[in-house]
Amino acid sequence: MSQLRDHLFDYLRIRRSLGYKLERAEKLLLQFLVYLEERGTEIVTVADTVAWARLPAGSPDWWAFRLSAVRGFASYLHALDSAHEVPAADLLPRRPPRAIPYLYTEAEIAALMAATGGLRGRLRQSTYRTLLGLLSVTGMRAGEAIRLDRHDLDLAHDVVTVRDSKFGKSRLLPLHRTTVTALRRYLRLRESHQRATVSDALFISPAGTRLLYCNLHATFRQLRRDARLDAGSGRCRPRIHDLRHSFAVRTLLDWYRAGDDVQARLPLLSTYLGHAHPKDTYWYLSAAPELLTIAGQRLERSLGGRP
């Protein structure tokens, strides 16, 4: 079975050289190999893959995700030895629709930041208030923000560096002076904390360690409840990632209202957000009814009444 593990490490190395991180996929694939080892088999079959994918009690979405992790590895193995079977992409289909972005108003963002006052400890309050503010004005991914180190901030030049994000990309984000002021205020409090030197992370927990992704989402759910933000529908629930959606849509709305050439400027937004492909940014054009309305009105003006 060591040969399968060798193939796995080669597979991960190749994919990561292309910019994929595969942290969760690596854990799942190692679990899958343990499953095969327990059965004494060295060949990946569709039957074993589906049986393993459906082992945990969970949703079809989670089963499909587990299957997709194995499918990429199985395709790699099949190219080396045709005895390995590759499960079909739709064998365990996920629920089709993606979540509808919850577009925060400025008042709702202010309510979320105000809700941090209910958290225990001054440092924790300031950490989450500053973090939410940074996410809302930069469109940064939550994972990118908690990976920031102190040296990623260049407050002398009003810029933050987002390093090694999705697909290995890094980018510079300019900061407004008010954002710089808020970050300076947070840094002063952070440095006065007795455990501030435990980690180089910009945003730290009361223990002085880097924030964990799971704890960030748990705290955000608490803040969302305290701010009394309700779901728009079953598929439209306020998530921390929607601060990024809201930033993108606000930017597009500002461009439309200013009469800018949105088509020409869209690649700028794509680069700023760290999207791998411009098509990922185009999706925001259909994310808000107000955007569609403004785009439709501009089209009507350009047609000049022609059908």
Positions marked catalytic:
141, 166, 241, 244, 275, 284
Q: Which two tokens stand for residue 268?
A: 């700028």
Per-residue CA distances from 222 to 29, 62, 93 (Å): 33, 24, 32
Q: Which two tokens stand for residue 124?
A: 């924790």
